[in-house]
Structures are given as structure tokens and as C-alpha cells.
């Protein structure tokens, strides 16, 4: 069923439930990888209109949630060296190993929140010659805009602006989830926005390699329902030993098979691929976009020798800062260790299954990153009172 033909939502819902009932499994686990899908599912109450055999599980698609603690530590460290830090709002509230940027800001550090990427260069120009570091966090979707900034800094020789990146790509983490024993996943709702850049073919491997049906979906309620319908019908076919379709791009209007060539060439020009640690999950091979040698002078990691500083001495220094913060502020929430963001990001549990959810952890006092970001599953479930 193509999305354009979905004019009778009740019929779609009935068909989803019909197939769910025909499948001889107690739980049918469908993972939505993107935080925007998690948001739409909760906002439209999609989980409440489909069979309770279908578990719609969040995945690792919230960039702030998967940004590792040491990245925050590095940003806090740079702010202690009289460097201006520019970032988007969500990231400032996420704790590193010692503290968050919001705590650093409360200690008088120059940490500025921007709402659009275009503000970054004008702030750097305004503050010249003071060093400015832009915290660039995201997935394939934001990588072209970040690449554009890096090229502009290079071309216009803006000497005081550098970029600390934490940009990840989707396929490696999906490979990690699907090849591990975290939880049996029956179907995947793939992010339409990533496919717009990287191409619809980007997610074909889910079916080709794992024989798990995958669909590229838009973000409206009816689009997500159409995607679930496609998946559940294919899961049923698989259970019956019938021929599956396997993979479908239902976002074809915006995401062509090969994606946006211009965006891809920008990414290729500026970044290279390396391993990176995902917060709570661990190292994921070939999952990071790192600034390549051509633009290395704009890489804050290299400009400020962060690898060198990020050793025992650094931790000692930061430990002292932490003690200083302790006099006036609670640096890290003591409940942090009980946070189950890792399990939320891997689809092992729903946010409301974390013992801290709502009782201790809420958007005003977030314990883990999944409650901080607007795309974080815990924050979405909290906002829309999703508890099933
Ligand atoms: Fe972590 Fe809070 Fe989510 Fe629990 S509810 S997993 S503590 S962010």
C-alpha cells in the first residue's frame, strides 16, 4: 500500500491489527531508529491504536543522547581555557564525566547557545581574535551543513573558529544492534531524513543482510502507520514462509534512491570515517565522520591537542574543577549510575521501565541524556505521557 493511497486510516489500522493477530508470536518488536519518529509516534498516539502485541521501540537516533561523556569533558576543558564555546541548546544540559556545560557556564565560562548554524560564523567574527569552538553534533542529516561551515572557515581564512565534531552515521550502529543479542527486532522503521541525504539504498542492507524487513518512513502519523502496515505484513509473510518484499522506500517523494549528490560530495570533501564510542553503547567501528587532513587546522581536537591533554593529568585538572564546582553546585546527579539510557537507546526497555522515570528524572532535572534532548525517548515519553 503506497502512502498516497492511505486515505482511510481506520482501514490501515485494522489491517495492521489483523496481521498482528495472525502472527504466532507474543511480541512483535519494531524499532524506530530516529528520535523524530519516536516523537511522532507519541504525539499521534500511534502505539495506542495498534495491537498491543506490537512493541514500537526507540533506537539510537538521538544525536545528543549518543554523544559520549568525554566529548562533553573536552568542551568543558576548552571553556576553562578562555575559549568561547558555541552549541545548540540541548547539549549544554548533558553531563560529561564531571559536569555539564551549563554548570561550566554558571561558573562564568563563555558558553553561547545558538539556534541556527548561520550564527556560528558571525559570532566568531564578532569575537576575533578570541578563540571560538563550535560543537558540531549530529548524524548524516546535519553533516552537510557542518561541512559547509568548515569549508567557509577554510576559504575565508577565519583564524579563530574551529569545530569539535561528534557526527555519526547510521548503518554501523544498526549493524551492531541487528548482529547482537540485545533484543530480537522484527522490523525497522528507517529515518527518511537520513535517506534524503544518503539515499534510499542506504538502508537496503537491513533486509539483504539480516532478512529483517525495513521501510524508509516519513514523519506524519499516516506515514508511520503505512510503514508499520508494510512491516507487519512482511513479518507475517516471513512467519508463513511466503515471499517478502523486504525493503521499501515510502519517502521516495523526498528521498531518492541515491540521495543528494551535492550533500554527499560536501561530506566526502570534509570528513573521513573512523571508529567512535557511542555513549553507553561503546565503540562502533566506522561510525564517525571526522574532519579530514585537508581541513585539520579547523579541527578543535587537533588545534588544542586534546588527545594529548586528555590523559591522567587532564582528569586530575578536571577533578579539581569538579571539586570547585562542588562548593556551590551539584555537579553530577548522584542517580546517574542508575540511568538506563543505554537500554533505552538499544530498544531493550521503554523509558517508563527505568525506575527513575518521572519519579526522579524529568526534563527540569534530567538524569540522563535521553531526558535532556527533545529527540530523546525519555523526554518524548514524559511529554506525551506515553506509558505503554
Ligand atoms: Fe536515564 Fe532518566 Fe531515561 Fe531513566 S528516565 S533512562 S534516568 S534519562
pLDDT tens, 278-308?
998 999 999 999 999 999 999 999 999 998 7
**Does the Cβ of 367 fall within 6 Å of ligand 1?**
yes
- Torsion region of 51: left, alpha or beta (phi above 0 gives left; psi -120 to 50 gives alpha): beta
**Does the Cβ of 370 fall within 6 Å of ligand 1?**
yes
Average pLDDT over residues 361-371: 92
Q: In which order are the strands placed within the sheet that holds 161-168?
A: 111-113, 84-87, 132-138, 161-168, 282-291, 271-278
DSSP class of residue 96 equals -
Ligand 1 centroid to residue 142 C-alpha, Å: 26
pLDDT at position 118 is 82
Model confidence at 322, pLDDT cuts 50, 70, 90, reads: low
Tell whether ipTM is more than 0.90: yes
Q: Which long-range contacts (CB under 8 A, 24 or more apart) does 241-247 make?
A: 244/207, 244/211, 244/213, 245/213, 246/207, 246/208, 246/211, 246/213, 246/214, 247/203, 247/204, 247/206, 247/207, 247/208, 247/213, 247/214, 247/215
Residue 373 pLDDT greater than 80, yes or no: yes
Residue 252 pLDDT greater than 90, yes or no: yes
pLDDT at position 193 is 94
pLDDT at position 315 is 60
DSSP class of residue 183 equals -
Average pLDDT over residues 68-73: 91
What is the SS3 assignment for 350? coil
Ligand 1 mutation target, pool 338, 353, 354, most atoms within 8 A of CB? 354
Average pLDDT over residues 224-253: 95
Residue 319 pLDDT greater than 50, yes or no: yes
- In angstroms, the CA 164 to CA 295 distance is 12
pLDDT at position 14 is 95
Cell output for 68: 559520549
Write out pLDDT tens, residues 95-111. Answer: 888 788 998 998 899 99
Ligand 1 centroid to residue 275 C-alpha, Å: 26
Identify the residue whose cell numbers are 521501510: 215
pLDDT at position 374 is 85
Looking at the CA of residue 355, tell me the nearest atom of ligand 1. Answer: 4
For atom 7 of ligand 1, the residue with the nearest CA is 339
**Does the Cβ of 214 fall within 6 Å of ligand 1?**
no
pLDDT at position 334 is 47
Mean pLDDT score across all residues of the chain: 90
For atom 3 of ligand 1, the residue with the nearest CA is 378
pLDDT at position 298 is 98
pTM over 0.80: yes
Average pLDDT over residues 367-376: 91
pLDDT at position 313 is 60
Residue 181 pLDDT greater than 80, yes or no: no
Ligand 1 centroid to residue 355 C-alpha, Å: 8
Model confidence at 388, pLDDT cuts 50, 70, 90, reads: confident
The torsion angle over the Cα atoms of residues 357, 363, 366 and 371, rounded to 10 degrees, is: 70
- In angstroms, the CA 307 to CA 46 distance is 45
How, if at all, do strands 271-278 and 282-291 pair? antiparallel
pLDDT at position 147 is 97
C-alpha torsion sign, points 286, 343, 217, 18: positive
Ligand 1 centroid to residue 223 C-alpha, Å: 29
Question: Does residue 382 contact residue 362 with C-beta atoms inside 8 Å?
Answer: yes
**Does the Cβ of 357 fall within 6 Å of ligand 1?**
yes
Report the percent of the chain where pLDDT is more than 90: 78
Question: Does residue 162 contact residue 133 with C-beta atoms inside 8 Å?
Answer: yes
Ligand 1 centroid to residue 328 C-alpha, Å: 25
**Does the Cβ of 378 fall within 6 Å of ligand 1?**
yes
Angle (CA) 237-241-244 rounded to 5° is: 45
**Does the Cβ of 339 fall within 6 Å of ligand 1?**
yes
Residue 335 pLDDT greater than 50, yes or no: yes
- Which residue intervals of 187-336 are DSSP H helices? 192-198, 205-210, 221-239, 261-270, 300-303, 306-309, 312-328
- In angstroms, the CA 369 to CA 378 distance is 9
What is the SS3 assignment for 243? coil
Ligand 1 centroid to residue 103 C-alpha, Å: 20
Report the percent of the chain where pLDDT is more than 70: 91
Ligand 1 mutation target, pool 349, 378, 387, most atoms within 8 A of CB? 378
Residue 87 pLDDT greater than 50, yes or no: yes
More confident residue, 152 or 334: 152
How, if at all, do strands 282-291 and 214-217 pair? unpaired
**Does the Cβ of 341 fall within 6 Å of ligand 1?**
yes
- Which residue intervals of the chain are DSSP H helices? 9-22, 35-43, 46-49, 69-79, 89-92, 101-106, 118-127, 143-155, 170-179, 192-198, 205-210, 221-239, 261-270, 300-303, 306-309, 312-328, 341-345, 369-372, 377-383
Ligand 1 centroid to residue 31 C-alpha, Å: 19
Cell output for 379: 523526554
Flag the least confident range among 25-34, 57-66, 276-285, 304-313: 304-313
Amino acid at each position: 500500500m503506497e502512502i498516497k493511497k492511505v486515505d482511510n486510516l481506520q482501514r490501515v489500522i485494522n489491517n495492521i491489527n489483523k496481521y498482528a493477530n495472525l502472527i504466532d508470536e507474543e511480541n512483535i518488536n519494531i524499532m524506530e531508529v530516529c528520535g523524530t519518529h519516536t516523537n511522532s509516534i507519541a504525539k499521534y498516539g500511534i502505539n495506542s491504536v495498534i495491537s498491543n502485541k506490537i512493541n514500537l521501540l526507540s533506537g539510537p537516533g538521538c544525536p545528543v543522547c549518543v554523544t559520549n561523556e568525554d566529548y562533553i569533558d573536552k568542551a568543558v576543558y576548552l571553556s576553562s581555557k578562555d575559549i568561547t564555546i558555541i552549541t545548540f541548546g540541548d547539549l549544554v544540559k548533558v553531563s560529561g564525566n564531571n559536569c555539564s556545560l551549563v554548570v561550566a557556564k554558571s561558573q562564568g565560562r563563555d558558553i553561547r547557545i545558538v539556534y541556527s548554524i548561520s550564527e556560528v560564523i558571525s559570532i566568531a567574527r564578532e569575537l576575533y581574535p578570541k578563540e571560538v569552538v563550535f560543537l558540531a553534533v549530529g548524524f548524516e542529516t546535519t553533516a552537510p551543513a557542518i561541512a559547509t561551515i568548515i569549508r567557509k572557515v577554510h576559504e575565508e581564512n577565519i583564524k579563530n573558529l574551529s569545530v569539535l565534531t561528534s557526527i555519526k552515521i547510521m548503518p554501523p550502529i544498526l549493524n551492531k544492534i541487528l548482529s547482537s543479542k540485545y533484543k530480537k527486532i522484527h522490523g525497522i522503521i528507517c529515518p527518511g531524513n537520513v535517506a534524503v541525504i544518503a539515499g534510499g539504498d542506504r538502508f537496503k542492507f537491513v533486509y539483504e543482510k539480516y532478512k529483517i524487513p525495513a521501510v524508509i518512513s516519513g514523519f506524519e502519523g499516516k506515514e508511520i502507520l503505512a510503514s508499520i502496515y508494510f512491516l507487519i505484513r512482511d513479518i507475517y509473510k516471513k512467519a508463513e514462509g511466503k515471499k517478502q518484499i523486504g525493503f521499501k522506500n515510502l519517502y521516495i517523494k523526498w528521498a531518492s534512491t541515491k540521495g543528494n549528490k551535492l550533500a554527499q560530495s560536501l561530506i566526502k570533501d570534509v570528513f573521513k570515517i573512523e571508529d567512535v564510542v557511542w555513549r553507553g553503547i561503546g565503540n562502533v567501528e566506522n561510525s564517525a565522520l571526522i574532519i579530514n587532513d585537508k581541513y585539520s587546522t579547523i579541527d578543535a581536537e587537533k588545534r588544542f591537542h586534546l588527545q594529548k591533554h586528555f590523559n591522567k593529568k587532564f582528569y586530575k585538572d578536571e577533578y579539581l574543577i569538579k571539586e570547585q564546582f562542588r562548593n556551590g553546585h551539584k555537579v553530577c546527579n548522584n542517580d546517574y549510575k542508575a540511568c538506563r539510557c543505554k537500554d533505552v537507546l538499544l530498544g531493550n526497555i521503554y523509558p517508563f521501565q527505568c525506575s527513575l522515570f518521572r519519579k526522579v528524572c524529568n526534563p527540569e532535572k534530567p538524569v540522563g541524556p535521553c531526558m535532556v534532548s527533545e529527540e530523546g525517548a525519555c523526554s518524548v515519553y514524559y511529554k506525551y505521557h506515553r506509558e505503554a
